[in-house]
Structure 1
Amino acid sequence: MTHAFLSSLARRLSQLPSRSRSSPASPHCATSLPRRFAPRAAAWLLACAALGCGASLPLAAQARLKAKHPAVNVTTVLPQPVMVGLQRAHVPLSSISVVVEKVGDRTPIVALNAVKPMMPASTMKLVTTYSGLSILGPDYRWRTSAYADGTIDANGVLHGNLYIQGTGDPKLVPEELIDLVQKIHKAGITGIDGALVLDKRYFDPSTRDLPPFDDDSTAPYNVGPDPLLYAFKSLSFTLTPSPDGSVAIDVLPALSQLQIDNQMHAVNGPCRGDAATVSPTVTPQPNGKVVASFSGEYSERCGPRTINVAVLDHSAFFAGGFLALWQQTGGTFNGTTRDGAVPAGARLVATHQGPVLSDIVRDINKFSNNTMARNLFLTIGATEDQPPATPAKSARAIKAFLRRDSIDMESLTLDNGSGLSRDEHVTALALADLLQRANASPLAQVFVESLPIAGVDGTMRNRLTNDGAGGNAHIKTGTLRDVRAIAGYVASADGNSYIVVSLINDPHSEAARAAHDALLEWVYQGPSQGFTKVADSVAEPRASKPRKNPHKRGAH
């Protein structure tokens, strides 16, 4: 692209009526850019020109920027396969935001609606996990501790209360909680002649037992955060039919108050695959028991099937899980359970340390675990400010860190840090900036390896399995009703590595997965090959020879 072309374009922009240069009629245009975006302003001028909005930079500034970035190649026409995918999904360009950059070079190759705040769905987890790794450190571990008051007799019976204090461990599953139970036994306690008291002061009460995001209160993805989150507050029922007509039902984790009423029988009919027909009815009883009732027919042809259901409140679920493990290991308990604070005179008897944060982040990003992300989000607020954690404290802590890390996220709106929200917003440009910074940081390997690999694992395991991008892209996905998103890294066939961010906010977004897959495959094939035009573009394809991959460790 020549200097004369840019100057001509700038003159046309300067001749637009002043109202059109600042009109909100094109909300997807970057008409007034923050000063810190100046190094990329030439790119925005080109993008804005094609979309019909004005520029706020004087001609002299435009010329200086172009001289500083002569290789700018920005288009508002996406690659043809992407355009076809959007057209088939009936998604207009005004509903999609895209940024493609080479790793280590913050000048966009593609920038469409790049500074438009969008709902990111689960790609918001990139903000939470990178901030968590940076603020807490990859070796950070949550602590779950047991305290006791009263005395222990010669038989190991505690004549007093046992207190369990949580700090929000996102992965306190049976394999982890059993460690605390065994340590309590090693401290000489085999029975509890008192209450089991749960200290959950680390998170503010307003953060617990929240209403579900949507109408499905039994969906595990709707489980909210809690200082004593146990097994994601969800039961996994496995149904196994037998030729004799019976259906075995196994459940994990075990809850001391849970009883299963199995009225199912196996039949030799077609497997209809309707999970609702075999989902249990879970009913608390006056005596404190909880009954999971199954009834109806189950086809042998379905084979074993696992159903995951969120049940009870956090306190009842944790208490039932703890006591089940306690009794399985020979412990006795005849008291009651309640929430409460550890008294000043109680003595520490055992502490369990959870997995390191680097492992937690991997689980959050690979499998897009909302509940774990929300616990991490609140933990950041509690450690940077002080307990009890609130979403406001966490949002302030993360935004302060991003400013210190020189990541511009002026349009960032945080709610719970998981993306399971209609109130969280971010721009594609901001996510690209975060991905650039993360890849250049000492955390690059841990962070990038936490992202799903296309065609291999996590939420990308079934995508691009037969394409070149399969195995060559680390991509965080996000989906909500009317929202579809991707963000991450692609190692292309031309030897370079690229950052790709695309956010779609549209009623037809669910049908646009093919467009996102086409974008990833196009980047894998090498953006330096240029664009296949499907409409007039303001940018000429840049001719450049492939060069050795310049990125630091971590971008794949």
Structure 2
Amino acid sequence: MYRAPFLNRKNPLVKRWRAAATLVISAATFTFAMNTPVEARGSGGPKAEAQQQTAKRAAAKKSKFNKRVVVPAGPLPATVMAALARAHVPLSSMSVVVERIGGNGVPLVAINANEPMMPASTMKLVTTYSGLSLLGPDYRWKTTAYADGEVDANGVLHGNLYIQGTGDPKLVPEELIDLVDQIRRNGITGIDGALVLDKRYFDTSTRDLPAFDADESAPYNVGPDPLLYAFKSLSFTLTPSPDGQVAIDVLPQLAQLQIDNELHVTRGACAGSLPAASPSVAQTTGGFVQASFIGDYPLRCGPRTINVAALDHSTFFAGGFLALWKQAGGTFNGTTREGPTPVSARLVGTHRSPVLSDIVRDINKFSNNVMARNLFLTIGAAMGKPPATTQKSSAAIQAFLHRSALPMTGLYLDNGSGLSREEHITAQSLADLLTAANSSPVAQVFIESLPIAGVDGTMRNRLTNAGAGGNAHIKTGTLRDVRAIAGYVGAENGESYVVVSFINDPRAEAARAAHDALLEWVYEGARRTASAE
């Protein structure tokens, strides 16, 4: 049986890992920040009473189909109960399952274990485990380029260039440049025709969906797309200088993007949210996109990075591709549009994504919502026939779980990322999945994709001075009124445990300490106050 490679935080090698992980975390900070909902960060968010009532009714409806027998188990430890009391969260708002790996299948703790709950981002575990099992850890997405028309002696294509996407979740500038280079190596240095985006791999019903909340420009609200580019988000870095100027850098570059910089450095204190750092982004005449920064910027505020998602996917991809194309010396004199690739077009380039095992690591370590949603739809297309729909993807995952003897009672999949008030699962179902994953062919890849407590990802700042730090692979979930943890803990006594817990309560944010206390208790060997298992 595979045992997760848990870290002993007292081992000096852990310090080296943490130092190396810091570099990885720095590179992924943008991904993590832009995939954390405003409401999840404790800033409130809009009221959603109607949505919550819908979710409660759905949960009640699902619960009557739950036929799993509740197994008697021990109570929660006093430290967890005390943390719940401090947060004023009743035990009825929490569901918990703790099971020893290699035990007799009887949970040490099973509290409200069969009640469907909102799991937030821990739902990504269902999507990523299913994706790894169905597609394989070495699966790669393809983004292909086709040309029709003739290429003259100067390398100008007198015809259209078609870009066909299949949902690559990590088509960032350093990846897309590979496709640009391949097109140029095939003799094309100019395009005297249209840039046509072929996005038929995902059904149109998966596009232009309502945002999760009112903050439509928030990167965590970016929806899936067959030609997802750089998470469809602009990252502006503002740097004030004593000479009164504020330098503005942007990633990725878009060919049609213009920056209107009317920021002025002031000598006052840095306080508040700094409204001047948030741009207004709008399309202007002539096909340009203008990002406007206006106002005072205190020098003491130092550099700030702002992430904004304000354009549609096709506009964003076309601008990103053409920026790279022109930077490489290419010319373009046409227009851009969406459309199918004709069968007569010839292949001029194929870019393959990083392997799925790397993609899953990004999804789980940094809780990337749009990458999870693209993977979710890819499962439906790959297991069936394109175009992908959410219904196809849900059916494919449910069928896989059924074949794996995982009935997953109470499971409802919406978009596969957990950024939803409709998605539900029981703690027992998710614990069963984690137990099955631990003994599966993809165990190592799957478990290593989870954040390590006190070391990296969304757990890097939790349990840093506790025994569980470095010894727990835990996926977190965070929404307004929801806190969740799910994963594996390597205990001090050498045993390994599966731990799943959801808190669905208006005071869930204040109850995070209860989850930390639970993980620490499990690390200490899950000593029970009742009879031993």
Query: When the two structures are superposed, what TM-score results if normalisation uses the length of structure 1?
Result: 0.83
Of 50, 75, 78 in structure 1, the residue corresponding to residue 76 of structure 2 is: 78
- In structure 2, do the counterparts of structure 1 residues 31 and 381 end up closer, same or farther at CA, with 3 Å as the change threshold? closer
Residues 1:541 and 2:499 aligned together: no
| 1:77-156 to 2 correspondences below 5 Å | 77-105=75-103, 106-156=105-155
- 2:287 partner SS: coil
Offset from partner CA, 1:499-544 (integer Å, 9 cap, x none)? 10001111111111111111111111111x223xxxxxxxx2328x
For residue 389 of structure 1, what is the amino acid of its counterpart? A
Could you tell me which residue of structure 1 aligns to residue 37 of structure 2? none
For residue 365 of structure 2, what is the amino acid of its counterpart? K
Contact between 1:123 and 1:478, CA under 8 Å: does it hold in 2? Answer: yes
- In structure 2, do the counterparts of structure 1 residues 398 and 244 end up closer, same or farther at CA, with 3 Å as the change threshold? same
Could you tell me which residue of structure 2 aligns to residue 501 of structure 1? 500
Return the offset for 1:408.
2.3
Return the offset for 1:30.
8.9
Contact between 1:30 and 1:113, CA under 8 Å: does it hold in 2? Answer: no
Residues 1:419 and 2:418 aligned together: yes
Could you tell me which residue of structure 1 aligns to residue 10 of structure 2? none
Contact between 1:229 and 1:314, CA under 8 Å: does it hold in 2? Answer: yes
Tell me how far apart the structure 1 counterparts of residues 428 and 385 of structure 2 sit (CA, whole Å).
32
Offset from partner CA, 1:232-283 (integer Å, 9 cap, x none)? 0000000011010110000000000000000012222222251544100111
- 2:146 partner SS: strand
For residue 294 of structure 2, what is the amino acid of its counterpart? S
Return the offset for 1:202.
0.1
Could you tell me which residue of structure 1 aligns to residue 462 of structure 2? 463
Could you tell me which residue of structure 1 aligns to residue 286 of structure 2? 287
Offset from partner CA, 1:162-215 (integer Å, 9 cap, x none)? 000000000000000000000000000000000000000000011112221100
Gaps of 5+ in 2: 1-56
- 2:97 partner SS: strand
Return the offset for 1:90.
1.3
Tell me how far apart the structure 1 counterparts of residues 249 and 66 of structure 2 sit (CA, whole Å).
58
| 1:207-286 to 2 correspondences below 5 Å | 207-272=206-271, 274-286=273-285
Contact between 1:263 and 1:296, CA under 8 Å: does it hold in 2? Answer: yes
- 1:381 partner SS: helix
Could you tell me which residue of structure 2 aligns to residue 454 of structure 1? 453
- 1:507 partner SS: coil
Could you tell me which residue of structure 1 aligns to residue 5 of structure 2? none
Contact between 1:408 and 1:433, CA under 8 Å: does it hold in 2? Answer: no
| 1:144-183 to 2 correspondences below 5 Å | 144-183=143-182
% identical equivalent positions: 72
Tell me how far apart the structure 1 counterparts of residues 411 and 376 of structure 2 sit (CA, whole Å).
15
- 2:386 partner SS: coil
For residue 98 of structure 2, what is the amino acid of its counterpart? V
Return the offset for 1:114.
0.4
State the structure with bigger RCO (CA 8 A, min sep 6), 1 or 2: 2
Could you tell me which residue of structure 2 aligns to residue 333 of structure 1? 332
Could you tell me which residue of structure 2 aligns to residue 296 of structure 1? 295
Contact between 2:66 and 2:409, CA under 8 Å: does it hold in 1? Answer: no
Could you tell me which residue of structure 1 aligns to residue 316 of structure 2? 317
> Larger Cα Rg: Structure 1 or Structure 2?
1
Tell me how far apart the structure 1 counterparts of residues 435 and 249 of structure 2 sit (CA, whole Å).
46
Could you tell me which residue of structure 2 aligns to residue 474 of structure 1? 473
Runs of 4+ off more than 4 Å: 26-33
- In structure 2, do the counterparts of structure 1 residues 110 and 351 end up closer, same or farther at CA, with 3 Å as the change threshold? same
Tell me how far apart the structure 1 counterparts of residues 510 and 352 of structure 2 sit (CA, whole Å).
43
Tell me how far apart the structure 2 counterparts of residues 131 and 391 of structure 1 sit (CA, whole Å).
15
Offset from partner CA, 1:447-493 (integer Å, 9 cap, x none)? 00000011111101111111111111100000111111000001111
For residue 241 of structure 1, what is the amino acid of its counterpart? P
Return the offset for 1:127.
0.1
- In structure 2, do the counterparts of structure 1 residues 346 and 92 end up closer, same or farther at CA, with 3 Å as the change threshold? same
Return the offset for 1:32.
8.5
- 2:285 partner SS: coil
Could you tell me which residue of structure 2 aligns to residue 354 of structure 1? 353
Tell me how far apart the structure 2 counterparts of residues 299 and 355 of structure 1 sit (CA, whole Å).
41
Contact between 1:209 and 1:314, CA under 8 Å: does it hold in 2? Answer: no
- 1:287 partner SS: helix
